Amino acid sequence: MINTKKIKKILHSIGESLYDLNWHNEDYGLLSGYFGSALFYAYYYKLTDQKKYLHRMNCIIEKTMNALAEKKLLLSHCSGVSGIAWAIQHLIKMDLIEQHTTENIFEEADKILADYMLHELSKRRYDFLHEGLGVMLYFLDKLPDAKAELYLKDAIAKLETAVVTTTSGKTWKDYSKSRRIRKCSATYNLGLSHGVPAILSILSVLHEKKIAPNKTLSLVENGVQWLLDTKNNADDKCISLYPTAVAKDNQLHEVKNSRLGWCYGDLSVAVALHNIGTRLKNDTYKQEALSIFDYTLKHRSKENGSILDTSLCHGSMGVSHIYRRAYSATADPIYLNGANQWLQQTLNMADDENMPIGFRYHTLNGYENNYSLLEGLTGIGLALIAVLDTHTIPDWDRCLLLS
């Protein structure tokens, strides 16, 4: 049984902590910084109907708009202008802010973001969080805007140019900054955060919206064919079904086992496959996704899934939210049960007196405070709101390609 009283208490504490912190935080990012808390207060307002949370949302927007006018910010989805712009569009669609209050700023920003997106993609920098791909999500949500459609068609052409054809299908090589710094050999990334599943997810939305439909369908179908072929062999007796990355011809480049989370691993692949299958009306993709979900429910745990905190990125609340979304899509109670089991894992961690509001983010240097959407309190709060508010679809998770 869900401990509603405890969740409400945690949400209240998160709401107060985020507001106190935001006036001292200079990271404006949607996923990495404080702007994600605008989404938290928007959905918390929908849950509670308390106007003070709507006021806090507006204060965050005002502070961010001032920063956009005065400072040179990053442009990425995770930490920069495109993520902020996506979130503002989302709040406009929720009827919580009026479009005319921001349209002047973003009329100027669109050309800058389009140039950045196309430049990054032309350099084969298509990391969803930090490079060109994430900007496509912003322009997707601007459709049917004519300029947005043109920008997206140009982006599709860049992605098509970068395709690598293999014996099992088509894919994209990982040229991300971290891999360039480490000077790794050719690698194909299997994470929804940085890799091929994100590219296929974005392309499937483009196909659904009938943007270059024939081209996007071909890219997605060949890409999914490649992705399915990266699955670990049963003879290897791995705990995970899919690795984190593969090298040429799907030979394992890194360890076979992957973590349990949004960013990488079996759930990352399953989410992408189910959403792609839904958009393309392809039951084969959806069935593979459900088989992965079922496997993880039976065989993955906090211990073998490397669950060390409660974050959305690769913590217990992210796992819980993914299963809750699977339940919403299928109405199968096993996913609701899985979501609630991982929710309880999260609430158990809240009893740690050494953590603010019971939650800290695990890093290589130990645990630290984190208030962001991706790795900290903002994301945990949004997922907890989704547990209680069964009348509001948690479409905020579109910023993580979860819907």
pLDDT reported for residue 21? 74
Closest CA to 148 of 104, 114, 101: 114
- Tell me if the bond preceding 213 is cis, omega within 30° of 0: no
Closest CA to 311 of 262, 240, 242: 262
Q: Distance between alpha carbon 36 and the CA centroid of its chain, in Å?
A: 12
Q: How far is the C-alpha of 265 from the C-alpha of 268, rounded, in Å?
A: 5
Rounded to the nearest 5°, which phi and psi values hold at 189? -85, 130
pLDDT reported for residue 180? 47
Residue type, 277: G
Q: How far is the C-alpha of 307 from the C-alpha of 315, rounded, in Å?
A: 5
Residue with tokens 């322009």: 139
pLDDT digits (tens, 9 = 90+) for 110-154: 999 999 999 999 999 999 999 999 999 999 999 999 999 999 999
pLDDT digits (tens, 9 = 90+) for 352-370: 555 556 677 777 787 787 8
Residue with tokens 């496509």: 136
Residues 125, 173: contact at Cβ < 8 Å? no
In percent, the amount of the chain with pLDDT more than 70 equals: 91
Put simply, whether the predicted model's pTM sits higher than 0.85 gets the answer: yes
**Residue 181 clears pLDDT 50, i.e. is over it:** no
pLDDT reported for residue 352? 59
CA atoms lying within 13 Å on the CB side of residue 272: 30
- Averaged pLDDT of the chain: 90
H-run or E-run covering 250: none
Q: Distance between alpha carbon 8 and the CA centroid of its chain, in Å?
A: 25
Q: How far is the C-alpha of 123 from the C-alpha of 117, rounded, in Å?
A: 10
Q: How far is the C-alpha of 381 from the C-alpha of 11, rounded, in Å?
A: 6
What angle, rounded to 10 degrees, do the helices at 4-22 and 51-70 form? 30
Q: Which is higher by pLDDT, 108 or 219? A: 219
Residues 320, 343: contact at Cβ < 8 Å? yes
Residues 236, 365: contact at Cβ < 8 Å? no
Residues 83, 27: contact at Cβ < 8 Å? no
